[in-house]
Amino acid sequence: MTLLDPVWTSLLYLAAAVFFILALRGLSSPRTARRGNLIGAFGALLAVVTVFLSARLDNIPWILGAIAVGSAVAAPVARRVQMTQMPQLVALFNGVGGGAAALVALLELSHTADPWVRLAIVFTLLVGAVSFAGSGITFAKLQELMTTRPVVFPGLPVVMAAVLLAAVGAAVAVVLTGSVALAVLLMVLGLAAGA
């Protein structure tokens, strides 16, 4: 049982997405950044409240547990970071968000046979994996854990083309079959493309 009708759930998620878009617009200028940040915070609050109202009531302890674990890890890190290290923190949090999105999509794959939903899952898997890997590389470069020079080698375009073709093939196969093994392969290919 849920507390919110599916139509209202969709409308509230849409409203939260609009607030996020408006927040990005506000964050584009130092003059409007504070307002943009507040709009984004309201959008996030709306999305979280919608999750609670639309989730099955027996899932709420899991949601609260995830919030507690995330807060226990992120809050101390965010408080201790110096302003000069903020880009690294943003890269790290962005990567973790992308990885989380990919893992949630992977879990959802076994719950649907609808090819359109599988297409959205494939997109989320790929974008989340690329974001996770790319943000990890960005963090490592900003933290000076690896060289900031581009890593290139003679066959790089061929390798990237092969990764892209394999990813397209795996994506089509996942949409058609719902194979979790192929979805994991797609995530690995996304990690390779993002790195």
pLDDT at 175: 94
pLDDT at 72: 92
Sign (positive/negative) of CA torsion 17, 21, 26, 29? positive
Which tens digit of pLDDT belongs to each residue from 37-78?
A: 999 999 999 998 998 888 777 778 888 898 899 889 888 888
3-state helix, strand, coil split of the chain in percent (to 5) is: 80, 0, 20
d(CA 55, CA 155): 48
Those residues with Cβ within 8 angstroms of residue 121's Cβ, 6 or more apart along the chain or in another chain = 105, 106, 108, 109, 112, 174, 183
Q: DSSP per residue over 151-180, as a string?
A: ---TTHHHHHHHHHHHHHHHHHHHHHH--H
**Tokens 């790290």 sit at which residue?**
92
The answer to whether residues 101 and 124 touch, using CB atoms and an 8 Å cutoff, is: yes
Specify the amino acid at residue 6.
Answer: P
Which tens digit of pLDDT belongs to each residue from 121-138?
A: 999 999 999 999 999 998
- State the burial class of residue 135 (Cβ atoms within 10 Å of its Cβ: 0-12, 13-18, 19+): buried
**Mean pLDDT, to the nearest integer, of 154-169?**
92
pTM of the predicted structure, to 2 decimals: 0.73
Q: Is the pLDDT of residue 119 over 90?
A: yes
Q: Is the pLDDT of residue 2 over 80?
A: no
Give, as one character, the DSSP assignment of residue 84.
G
